[in-house]
Structure 1
Amino acid sequence: MSPDSTVPKILPLLAQRLSTVIQNRIVVIPETFGSGTCSGYVFNEHIRLLILNYDLREDLIVKSPEVMPPGKMILFKFQNVIPETQGANRPSVLIATSHMQTDGVVPIHSHRSTLNIEIDAQYLKSLLDTSHLPPLLQSLIENTQPLLFEEMIFPSLQTLVDAIVSEPVEETFKLFFLRVKVEELICRLLMVLKKRDQTPLYALNPHDLEIIYTIRDQMLARLETPPVIEELARQAHMSSSKFKRLFRQIFGDSLFSYYQTFRIKEAARLLKEEKLSVAEVGYRLGFTNLSHFSKVFHEHIGTKPKQYSRS
């Protein structure tokens, strides 16, 4: 492959808008526009990677030169996975069919820390033994309806992301090294998705998706208040059954189990980083019974909160 053919076509357009140039497949944001970098790699006609880690003084809109027909590409969008930008944000990955992104307009937001992988659905299908695919993976790879799934990033995935973003590799092996890591990332995510058993799947529309995420974010911002499904469904203008069904489909867990996981993660953070007492943490997160708090904490973390705070 020639050097130019390994550069995603969006990068030259971005460099032009920012009055700069591409060097080694990297656009460095000029100080007059902000800071950070955008880099990209086209491994072959089937798979490509963008690493976006920047702050701009204002949003930009760029018309994508690579609009694929519906059903062509599957997107894996890793969020808050670049170590220096994680902070209190939740590292996660969105897995979306191309039917979820069809307008061809790329919003270059003022802040972005993502790693985007696009892979051809038919190429991905050719790598798998499709005779044993569960319905969820079958629907994803067939790529015929608008679907989106979110998974939290666990340590083995974060290790792969760290290698892609920051491991020094000489140019001779760079594309080969990154492609292997990218394909391993995708494989590991498919193995996780395979554990989900929800069927049937329901086609998503942008309006419902936006509402589900808005309510999810509000719920996680108020971890001291256990969610009431009927109230959240009413807020979403959905029936309780539809709300529960879409939430589980997107996040792979029931609403309350998802909430409880984040509640206990926050409890662990408060115990370790803020050095709060077990009672302070329990009451702050809405537990009225500290014995119950200790039991739930042990179920999720594997140790009692008092022992955890001392370890």
Structure 2
Amino acid sequence: MVHLNNKSPNIPEVLRRLAAQMNSQVIDNRLNIPEAYGQGFCTGYNWDSHLRMLILNYSLKRDMLIENADIDISGKMLLFKLQQVFPPPGSTPDLSSHFTPPSFLIATRKVATDVFLPVHTHTGTINIEIDTAYLSDRLKSSGHSRIIQRLLENEEPLIFEEMIFPELLPVIKEVTDHQHSDPFRSYFMQLKAEELVCRLLSVLENRTAAELQRLHQSDIQIIYQIRHQLTLHLDQPPNLSELAINAGMSVSKLKSLFRQIFGKPIYAYYNTLRIQEAARLLRARRLSVSEVGYALGFSNLSHFSRLFEQHIGLKPKKYAMQQ
């Protein structure tokens, strides 16, 4: 049975507003993007006041700006955002395409967010927000790491990001592919939203971090600009002194804040980016192993092969043959 549920309290307000702007309808918690505006879909759920989720997979013909009435003004929610989980429709990896690896971030609402939700030409994310009091009650333990404790306190700006690990992919696929009819779809999605929250927190629980520094919004923006610079120049090893000058901070502060947010030292993160890009290019089967290695700045292909195997578990040639 099809349910026209534009006015259901289970639907995030931002999804209703997007549907209204496109002269469309939310059907069974899903908005299919009209052809006149682009392609793809948005799916959203509100579960009481403690948990909500948006699944966004679309490409638009033009950018739009939708007021996000669901923004957490009270600051009681934590944001879990899985990014780049849907490839752009019709995209084929090559050396000319900009690489941004699939990742997830966890942030307190003390990290400034805009009250307007920008709708970009392509968006492929899963956004989950969960109330910290509800989450603390679910966890019911005082033995968590200092990172988890500080997140649950939700009293300061904190943001952590990690690349998506292979064990997470089946859960993401279940969320994005699930087609059961109501009432089971909503219940299933709630269970999967909480499973994703649990799995993502377990990654942070295993981080070995020094004392967390207090973050300012300007620091966060600068560190993300530095990360963006790394993705643009994967064939060039980062120069910490130059990066620090560009960031307007000392090398020690840059290294400390980068590791706090991304969980790795800058050079280790850079190498992970290179290997993830190498795997992406090899999956496309348009370039040879040597072409991929040289394009990513490896002058020694034996070193490339060893590093690839350390990260992926297979040598690049064998990995390419299995795709």
The answer to whether the superposition gives a TM-score over 0.5 is: yes
CA distance in 2, matches of 1:34, 1:291: 45
Q: 1:287 to 1:121 in 2, by over 3 A?
A: same
Q: Are the counterparts in 2 of residues 275 and 309 from structure 1 also a CA contact under 8 Å? A: no
| Greater relative CO, 1 or 2 (CA 8 Å, sep 6+) | 2
How far off is 1:116 after superposition? Answer: 0.8
Check the 8 A contact 1:149/1:251 in 2, yes or no.
Answer: yes
State whether structure 2 residue 36 is matched by structure 1 residue 24. Answer: no
**Cα deviations across residues 160-184 of structure 1 (Å, max 9, x unaligned)?**
1111111221212111111111111
Equivalent residue in structure 2 for 1:210, among 206, 221, 224: 221
1:49 & 1:221 partners in 2: Cα distance?
31
Percentage identity across paired residues of the two chains = 45
Match of 2:288 in 1: 276
Structure 1, unaligned runs of 5 or more: none
Query: 1:54 corresponds to which letter in structure 2?
Result: Y
Q: CA deviation at 1:104?
A: 2.2
Question: Do residues 90 (structure 1) and 90 (structure 2) align?
Answer: no
One-letter amino acid matched to 2:76 = K
Cα distance change, pair 21–227 in 1 and its aligned pair in 2 (3 A): same
Q: For residue 160 of structure 2, what is the aligned residue in structure 1?
A: 149
Distance 1:271 1:182, change over 3 A: closer
- The answer to whether the Cα contact below 8 Å between 2:101 and 2:276 also exists between their aligned partners in 1 is no
Matched AA of 1:41: Y
Partner of residue 50, structure 1:
54
Question: Conserved in 2, the CA contact under 8 Å of 1:91 and 1:152?
Answer: yes
Q: TM-score, normalised by structure 2?
A: 0.86
The correspondence for 2:258, drawn from 231, 247, 264, is: 247
Is contact 2:59–2:88 with CA below 8 Å preserved after alignment? Answer: no
Q: Tell whether the 8 Å contact from 2:87 to 2:124 is kept in structure 1 after alignment.
A: no
Name the structure 2 match of 1:108: 119
Equivalent residues in 2 for 1:122-271 (5 A)?
122-270=133-281
The one-letter code of the counterpart of 1:4 is: S
Letter in 2 for 1:58: R
1:12 aligns with 2:24: no
* Corresponding residue pairs, total: 309
**Residues 166 and 87 of structure 1: is their aligned pair in 2 closer, same or farther, counting only changes over 3 Å?**
farther
Alpha carbons 1:135, 1:199 under 8 Å: kept: no
Greater helix fraction, Structure 1 or Structure 2? 1
Distance (Å, rounded) in 2 between the aligned partners of 1:303 and 1:13? 47
Q: Greater CA deviation, 300-309 or 253-262?
A: 300-309
Change (3 A) 1:145 1:31: same
What is the deviation of 1:156?
2.3
* Aligned equivalents of 1:154, 1:136: Cα separation in 2: 20
CA distance in 2, matches of 1:271, 1:40: 34
* 1: CA distance, partners of 2:54 / 2:281: 35
Unpaired segments of 5 or more residues in structure 2?
94-99
Aligned residues: CA RMSD: 2.4
Q: 1:28 to 1:281 in 2, by over 3 A?
A: closer
Distance 1:193 1:257 in 2: 18
- TM-superposed CA distance for 1:306, in Å, is 4.9
- Distance in 2 separating the partners of 1:66 and 1:231: 40
Which moves more between the two structures, 201-210 or 216-225?
Answer: 201-210
